[in-house]
Structure formats: C-alpha cells, structure tokens
C-alpha cells in the first residue's frame, strides 16, 4: 500500500471525497494537508468559500467534513453552477480575475474564515484572488491555493517571472525585510503572518495582530562573554576587529572615523564575494 493511500485512509476528508455523489478532482496529498490546516474549524460556525466547483462534488465533501454549522459558498465562472443552490449551497457566478466581482462578492457575503482557490489556475486569477481576498479573511483564517504546479506549466504561460509562485517567493522576501526596514510599505504584510508551502499548495495564514512588525528586544539579564564572533572566520574582518582600538591611537580620530564609515561597505563586498560559494545550492 502506498504512503498516500495509507494516510488518506485515515483522513475524514478523504472519506467525504470518496463518498461524494458528484465528481471532484484533487491530488492525493491534499487530504492530509487539509487535515493539518483545517482541523481547527471542524464543527465550528464558519464561512468557507471554494473557487471553482465544476461538477459539485467538492461542495458536498466540504459540507460533510466541516459539519452542519458551516456555511459553504461556491464561486464559478460557469452560470450552470447555480444548480447547486437547490442542495443548500450559496453559489456566486463571476470572474475571479475581476476586482469588481470580488468587491460585490464580499459586500454581500461579509468576512469569511477560509477560501480555497481551485479555479482557473492562471497567474492572473490566483494573484487577483489573493489581492482581493486577504483583507476579507477573519483573523486566524486561511487563504489556500491549490494546483500551484500550474506556475511551471506551459499551458498557463509558465515558467514566468510573473507566475503565482514567484509572487509568493517575493512575499517571503518582503516578510523578512519587514523586520529590518524602517520605511517599508507593508500592504498585505499587515494581514499575513505565516505562509505554508506544500507540494502544489500554498496556504496564507491571516492574523493582523500576529502580522505586526517584529522588533528586537533585550531582557534585563547580565551581559557576559558578549564578544561578537560573527566575523572571526573572515581574515580581513577579524583583523580589523582585533586591531581597531590600536588603530585609533595610530591614525587619529578623523581617519579612524572615516574607516568606521567605510567598514560596513567593506563587509558588504567581502560577504558578497563569499556568497559565491553558495552558488552550488541554487539552480
């Protein structure tokens, strides 16, 4: 028995998927990923949205999985999807690339807890869904994108500098810059506090409190053995550090202060050169 089959047999979501009367298509690893991400919502009064509902099977899967307290909403571009309303689901018809559609949608629906994008998978559609939804997800909610392998498929115009996955990679860069920059345009970084990358799934965790800019703090403990050893493995820098006090006496204040100003640039150049060693870790 394969790993996927064995672990899926233990998944309540997989059982709901298998037993749905109507067709749904998912990847074999999605079920245990969703069990990890969504278990906190089980039997809770939540609003759940799925973009791209096709033959309707996933709507029934989600309803069975979350329980009767869940409000299940489907979005599709195909007007024929309205037929699922007779089964008690809320269905909205519209183009996920259209900001006007999203504005009208959230005006009607209000805040939601979870959105799963299983729509058209184009870069534009996925990025549009993110940009129009992140501010409408409740704290401790999730914005999840399926089939992110589309960012590597020619039929979606990929690989591309402007793919959805590259959008996500850029997001990681900005998240880490946030802690080091005084004048940073936070935008949606004020809402997203964590990103999970799985095979073919990216999940954004929404919480504006946890997403606040992180600052360095120091406790009141004693300062012991605090010599900075970060530059000890670099000959030039370690010697500058070693002799900097003697240097001041030898060359005078003015020249010493000039060297102090130049020193950060020297470190930058040296570490830039040392970084070439890391080339083997990058494609």
Distance from C-alpha of 148 to C-alpha of 152, rounded to nearest angstrom: 8
Distance from C-alpha of 249 to C-alpha of 40, rounded to nearest angstrom: 64
Looking at the fold, whether 69 and 120 belong to one and the same domain comes out as: yes
**pLDDT at res. 21:** 84
Give domain status of residue 219, yes or no.
no
Give the confidence band of 181 by pLDDT, cuts at 50, 70, 90. confident
User: Cβ contacts of residue 38 below 8 Å, gap of 6+?
Assistant: 13, 65, 66, 114, 142
Closest CA to 48 of 30, 32, 68, 31: 68
Give the residue, 1 or 266, on which the prediction is more confident.
Answer: 266
**pLDDT at res. 246:** 64
Looking at the fold, whether 40 and 173 belong to one and the same domain comes out as: yes
Looking at the fold, whether 68 and 163 belong to one and the same domain comes out as: yes
Looking at the fold, whether 13 and 148 belong to one and the same domain comes out as: yes
What is the tens place of the pLDDT at every residue in 8-18? Answer: 777 888 888 88
What is the tens place of the pLDDT at every residue in 147-176? Answer: 999 999 999 999 999 999 999 999 999 888
Looking at the fold, whether 14 and 57 belong to one and the same domain comes out as: yes
Give domain status of residue 216, yes or no.
no
Looking at the fold, whether 171 and 257 belong to one and the same domain comes out as: no
Give domain status of residue 135, yes or no.
yes
Looking at the fold, whether 260 and 140 belong to one and the same domain comes out as: no
- Which residues constitute the domain of residue 275? 235-281
Number of domains observed in the structure of the chain? 2
Looking at the fold, whether 190 and 248 belong to one and the same domain comes out as: no
**Helix, coil or strand: residue 94:** coil
**pLDDT at res. 95:** 96
Looking at the fold, whether 128 and 30 belong to one and the same domain comes out as: yes
Which residues are registered as beta bridge partners of 76?
Answer: 93
Distance from C-alpha of 151 to C-alpha of 163, rounded to nearest angstrom: 5
Residues 196-201, mean pLDDT to the nearest whole number: 97
- The per-residue b/e assignment along 5-16, b for 16 or more CB within 10 angstroms, e otherwise, is eebbeebebbbb
**pLDDT at res. 35:** 93
**Mean per-residue pLDDT over the chain, rounded:** 87
pLDDT at residue 232 tops 70: no
């Amino acid at each position: 028995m394969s790993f996927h089959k064995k672990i899926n047999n233990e998944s309540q979501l997989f059982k709901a998927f298998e037993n749905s009367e109507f067709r749904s298509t998912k990847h074999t690893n999605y079920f245990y990923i969703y069990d990890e991400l969504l278990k906190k919502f089980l039997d809770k009064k939540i609003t759940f949205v799925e973009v791209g509902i096709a033959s309707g099977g996933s709507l029934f899967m989600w309803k069975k999985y979350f329980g009767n307290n869940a409000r299940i909403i489907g979005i599709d571009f195909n007007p024929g999807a309205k037929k699922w309303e007779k089964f008690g689901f809320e269905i909205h018809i519209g183009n996920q690339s259209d900001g006007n559609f999203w504005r009208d949608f959230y005006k009607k629906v209000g805040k939601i807890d979870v959105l799963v994008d299983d729509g058209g998978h184009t870069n534009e559609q996925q990025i549009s869904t993110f940009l129009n939804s992140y501010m409408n997800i409740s704290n401790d909610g999730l914005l999840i994108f399926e089939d992110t392998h589309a960012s590597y498929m020619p039929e979606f115009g990929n690989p591309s500098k402007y793919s959805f996955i590259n959008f996500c990679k850029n997001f990681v860069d900005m998240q880490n810059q946030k802690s080091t920059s005084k004048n940073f345009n936070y935008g949606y970084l004020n809402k997203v506090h964590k990103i999970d990358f799985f095979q073919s799934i990216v999940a954004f965790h929404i919480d504006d409190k946890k997403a606040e800019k992180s600052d360095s703090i120091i406790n009141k403990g004693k300062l012991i053995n605090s010599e900075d050893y970060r530059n000890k493995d670099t000959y030039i820098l370690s010697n500058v550090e070693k002799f900097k006090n003697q240097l001041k006496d030898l060359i005078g204040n003015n020249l010493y202060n000039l060297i102090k100003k130049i020193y950060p640039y020297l470190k930058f150049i040296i570490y830039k050169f040392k970084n070439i060693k890391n080339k083997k870790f990058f494609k």
